[in-house]
Each structure stands twice: as structure tokens, then as C-alpha cells.
Amino acid sequence: MVLVLDLKEVRSKDLLRVCSGYDKIKRKAALLVDNGLLTAFETDKPHPATTYMLTPKGREIAVLLKKARTILEDDSSQKTLDDCCRWKG
């Protein structure tokens, strides 16, 4: 979902950047479509493909996921779960 947020729309082959295994990633994308987080558009030209875009609800979640990833990457030096969860207020 973060990839779609960054690129605005992706084609099915672009999803392979996230996970290997085309069938697996297509099933996961279909699950996100079924849950109202992505929309899917089928195209025939220049060749058959599916284009995915975030729904408004999907965009909200993708923004939160991107923030969470940033927090996790910034706290990668933490050694324990307690250190990672400790409030820094």
C-alpha cells in the first residue's frame, strides 16, 4: 500500500517490488480490493494488466503505515521491545 501511495498508481507487475511471486501478490492485492483499500482497473492495451490505486480509506491507512515504518527505521538501534514501546514524552 505504501508503494501505491508513493507512485499514485501501480500496475500488477510493479507489485513485484514488494514481494516475489506474482500469483501471491495478485491474491494479496485482490484482498485489499475486496476490503475497500484499493481499486483495480483492467486494461487491454498495450497488453492485459491490472492497475491499482488507493481508495480514500486505503490512502489514510497507507499514510499511517508509512509513518510507522519511519518510526521503526528511526528506532532500529533499540535493543528490546520495552525500549521500542517506551513513551518518549
What pLDDT, in 10s, does the model give residues 25-84? 888 899 999 999 999 999 887 888 899 999 999 999 999 999 888 888 876 555 555 555
Closest CA to 4 of 46, 74, 55: 55
Q: Give this prediction's pTM.
A: 0.72
Q: Which residues contact 11 (CB under 8 A, 6 or more apart)?
A: 49, 50, 51, 52
Domains and CATH numbers, the chain: 2-85 (1.10.10.10)
Local structure of residue 47 (DSSP, 8 states): S
Q: Where are the alpha helices (DSSP H) in 1-89?
A: 2-7, 22-34, 56-74, 81-85
pLDDT tens string 5-30: 898 998 888 888 887 788 888 888 99
Q: Which residues contact 34 (CB under 8 A, 6 or more apart)?
A: none
What are the beta bridge partners of residue 52? Answer: 10, 40
